[in-house]
Structure 1
């Protein structure tokens, strides 16, 4: 299995929009710098980035602007999965040429009952078309949204065919038995649970870290979990980050996260989402912020970063 030199906590970076619903590049770059400064990698174009509401041209332009902002590409794990195979190839090639640590690849959406043979062909076509020894692929398993599960048998086939390229997976299934099964069956494979609340269970079994929606809010605290020197210290850190995760995970995640960032950054525009999503209600946002404050939550230096 090839090396995957990258941070151990990644945020699926929220995407700010301006009043015309175009991507607000200055705010995005400032936020990316804040996340990196807090110890997180950047999983641009993840689910919580509203990636499926962004065009291929927008995703290319955003990645180029982030790279031009002197953010180390080794911190970048952009999502490049797409329904259309040519789009997936273009995005994956673009990210690889930019020097990103790897790419996070959803399976193609919409079609149901797709076979492992079809999914293997999809990933194989992308890998062969990109044709780069530098490409590192992390699969993205989120069947409750994609409708297309990534089976253990498929992973086994992909790793056998592309051992230097297919190096890990984000497991967003919410099924701990699946995560534990991945860790047991594929030693050395980079397994990233999608919730920091699972790190107490997953790290002793060999998890690589986590790629979590709420890493957008508490990246440094999650990084502390991963850096904890003792089991006791890790348990205390997991307990702290889990309280924040639990406060948010039952909510409409993207609008709620953006409402929190809008408050702590001082930029109300952060609360915007692209249709069909709708912004988080003002009363609900105030109640959430009060709950988070009661838990001792803060986003240190975000307002200063956003003002630069």
Structure 2
């Protein structure tokens, strides 16, 4: 079972489609050094669908090599092409990844019965354990509870990442997992990490853990142990981190904010894959000012909120 804090790692770039290799090395060490429980590459925060297939294969290979078995590596294999998802999974397995993350294919809007058939077919063909991924804001397709229930019956589905930011949905999904005690449900939005873990979730795939992994690990552990007062304190710190995501005016501001923050920490460059562009000078200055306040979090300290 994959559980705990598994950051959706950004993809460091030197231009629109080439890896920032030294930056990737620093990033992997920085995140793992924060005590996380795994790494997730080629997710939404990793700009997976925007990257060329060569770059996707390269970051999978390099990340697995850099992780060197210290934590499991999960690979996002969501694609509009069934066969490309299979190929990337095979490559991930060859590189030593321990699982894949699969969202519904985007562009053509499948019905729920079609989605059930798709999951049943592809999960059986994938050679690694599968975490299903509900990301309706990007795929424009919501995995309904009955579809999730059906998919969890497959032995190769080992868990579920929910990024819907809908706690009513989370509670309904969590109830389904009572029938599957060895499978895990994790949340994407870090604002919901504390609440979801206290109420039976198994961790988070939180973008801010690229920047401050120890903070998110500490919050997860406190929630797991029922330390409510400490949870409240650390949750306020996490909410302060999310101010980085409100600097820009588009939904891409989350990824831009994280990458710009990493640049402020001298970990990696902040280039984005097309069609997105990194923050302009005005926004980068705002991020820099915020990071001056947040910087102590990188060393495991706390800040006033």
TM-score scaled to structure 1, two decimals? 0.86
CA deviation vs aligned residue, 1:211-239 (integer Å, no higher than 9, x gap): 01212112110000112242222222222
1:119 and 2:115 aligned = yes
Tell me the SS of whatever aligns to 2:45.
helix
Tell me the SS of whatever aligns to 1:69.
helix
Q: Which residue of 2 aligns with 1:106?
A: 103
- Mapping of residues 15-164 of structure 1, within 5 Å: 15-19=11-15, 21-40=17-36, 41-72=38-69, 74-112=71-109, 114-130=110-126, 132=127, 135-160=128-153, 162=154, 164=155
- Mapping of residues 260-271 of structure 1, within 5 Å: 260-265=261-266, 270-271=269-270
- How many residue pairs are counted as aligned between the two chains? 289
Q: Which residue of 2 aligns with 1:186?
A: 177
- Distance, in Å, in 2 between the alignment partners of 1:254 and 1:192 is 20
**Structure 1 position 263, deviation (Å):** 1.3
Residue 52 to residue 185, structure 1, CA distance change in 2 (3 Å): same
Tell me the SS of whatever aligns to 2:75.
coil
Q: Is the 8 A contact 1:85 1:122 kept in 2?
A: no
Q: Which residue of 2 aligns with 1:168?
A: 159
Q: Is the 8 A contact 1:77 1:100 kept in 2?
A: yes
Q: Is the 8 A contact 1:74 1:101 kept in 2?
A: no
Tell me the SS of whatever aligns to 2:76.
coil
Residue 20 to residue 159, structure 1, CA distance change in 2 (3 Å): closer
- Tell which deviates more after alignment, 13-22 or 77-86: 13-22
Residue 170 to residue 266, structure 1, CA distance change in 2 (3 Å): closer
Q: Is the 8 A contact 2:26 2:267 kept in 1?
A: no
- Distance, in Å, in 1 between the alignment partners of 2:70 and 2:294 is 34
TM-score scaled to structure 2, two decimals? 0.87
- Distance, in Å, in 2 between the alignment partners of 1:243 and 1:20 is 30
Q: Which runs of 5+ in 2 are unaligned?
A: 301-305
State the superposition RMSD in angstroms: 2.2
Q: Which runs of 5+ in 1 are unaligned?
A: 302-308
Residue 66 to residue 91, structure 1, CA distance change in 2 (3 Å): same
Q: Is the 8 A contact 2:8 2:39 kept in 1?
A: yes
- Distance, in Å, in 1 between the alignment partners of 2:230 and 2:140 is 38
**Structure 1 position 71, deviation (Å):** 2.5
Q: Which residue of 2 aligns with 1:277?
A: 276
